[in-house]
Structure 1
Amino acid sequence: MFIAQASVLLNELAKSEPELHKSVMELASVWDTDDRKSAIERIWPKLKKVAIDYSVAEPAAAAGLVAVVPANFSWHDVGDFAAIAELQSQGRKGNLAVLGNAKVLADSSSGILVSDTDRLIALIGVEDIIVVDTPDALLVTTKEHAQRVKSLVDALKATGHSDVL
């Protein structure tokens, strides 16, 4: 968790990722206007995907601009579907977390299912599965391989299938 003035984070972003900073500032400039939606549609898909840790926090720490403050609170890094499934099942083994209005029949299955279609999804005897069902694409993986979704996204872009992202 980062607590800092926005100007500190933005200044570090400008130094480490100038093109990303420029795009973020362009979005910010139209955020409270009628142009927001079109700007997001135009800019967001082209933004470089980088972790704040690498692009901002580490350079800021190296420059002495941030400090670590010990604190006692729970924290979950919700960086992939496996983490979402863990939070949804509240740590209980064997649960299937269902997000959205999915029609699901599940027998002896665990993991997470995210759906925004009317299609019936049936699961039998699958553990730690991740199913993401959208009108134009279906993703099926396991919690073990959830971090590989980013490489799949890159492959889809490289093969001209950005329309399903």
Structure 2
Amino acid sequence: MSEQLSIQPLQKDDLDFLYQMRINSDVMDYWFEEPYASKAQMIKSYEANLEQDSHRSFILYHGKEKIGYLGLFDLDWRHRHAEFAIMIDPAFQGNGYATRATELMIDYGFNQLNLHKLFLYVAQTNEKAAYIYEKVGFEREGFLKQHFFINGQYCDVIMMGLLQENIVSNKN
């Protein structure tokens, strides 16, 4: 199952797939964003980001089927860190893809980009995601009280981080 997972850089023809997730409130609530985007805005953003070196966006594939989107955002080349984020298409959630997909991005961030640290924010109520992140090595670093507005209420957020050196030491 997860052995067939791969990531490919986001292409313009992937935007229709991404758009369907970006307008889904069940998905976007956990990205802490409003589920609002027009295709025209997405195209404009995609084209503007082609000139930027501050993020890496990927489509997650299971075989030849698109099942998710992942990225490293706000890449800081001086301090060598980036924010990790993932979204799995709701039709494919619950199949164990998120763990392997996260591992693929960890490998990319540390072994291709030579980052020192990956970090993320996860809603405290999103226990499944927090479990996956901890399973692959992320550690809880902090807590933000009532930081994001989800489903009509303010939610607490866990800040998590993973250092490159911890991945190297885990492989030994």
When Rg is computed on C-alpha atoms for both structures, the one with the higher figure is 1
Structure showing the higher strand proportion among its residues: 2
- Would you call these one fold, judging by a TM-score over 0.5? no
TM-score bucket (shorter structure): under 0.3
* TM-score, normalised relative to structure 2: 0.27
* Larger relative contact order, structure 1 or 2 (CA cutoff 8 Å, min sep 6): 2
